[in-house]
Amino acid sequence: MTQTPQIQLIPIRINGVFSEWRMSVNGGPASGPGHYPHIPVPAKDNADFSFTIQNAQGISFSNDPIWIQKGTAKPTGGVDGQITQISGQGTAKLTFHDGNQDRGPLSYVLNFNGAPSLDPIIDNAGGGPGFTEPNLVWYAVGAVALLVVLVLILRPMFRSKGPVERQP
């Protein structure tokens, strides 16, 4: 099953000057620095993330909008291989797919034009989408095909050559 976390990024301004980021997940309460929510992706699931800058007023995602790596260390570049389909550079909405193949946290940095970066954590439970129902059908088809091939190959070895005649 694919999760669809909707994350709202709220730039806080004081006297029109950027002060800090607040972050809300799926309409929940907005948290500030040091308290950004970890975003879970359950075992055997994957996720299509959507980050939207609320009241952007000149803030957009940069052309290099996300850096992401395994572990809790703040990444300084690059994107982990389980993150794909990144889009939204130069806009107020960034989306990407998390295949969730590996268990453990993914630390990421969101990069912006017009505001400092933001670095919360995704908690991957691993296992990816695993044995989804469509995959099980293909595994069953493959198993049946393998069985048919084995029967065709091994059948001549066990074929009877007729009744054995006894000598008097």
Residues 84 and 117 in one domain: yes
One-character DSSP codes across 76-106:
-S-B-TTEEEEE-TTSSEEEEEE---S-EEE
Give the separation between CA 47 and CA 120, rounded to whole angstroms: 16
Question: Containing domain of residue 145, as a range?
Answer: 130-158
- Predicted confidence at residue 54, as pLDDT, reads 96
Matching residue, tokens 């909405």: 93
Indicate the number of domains in the chain.
2
Q: What is the predicted pLDDT for the residue at 28?
A: 92
Which pLDDT tens digit goes with each residue over 138-151?
Answer: 455 566 666 666 66
User: pLDDT tens for residues 87-98?
Assistant: 999 999 999 999
Same domain, 24 and 66: yes
Rounded to an integer, what distance in angstroms lies between the CA atom of residue 80 and that of residue 33? 24
33 and 81 fall within a common domain: yes
Could you report the per-residue pLDDT of 13-37, keeping only the tens digit for each? 999 899 999 999 999 999 998 888 8
Residues 55 and 23 both lie in one domain: yes
Separation of alpha carbons 21 and 68, rounded Å = 19
One domain for residues 64 and 141: no
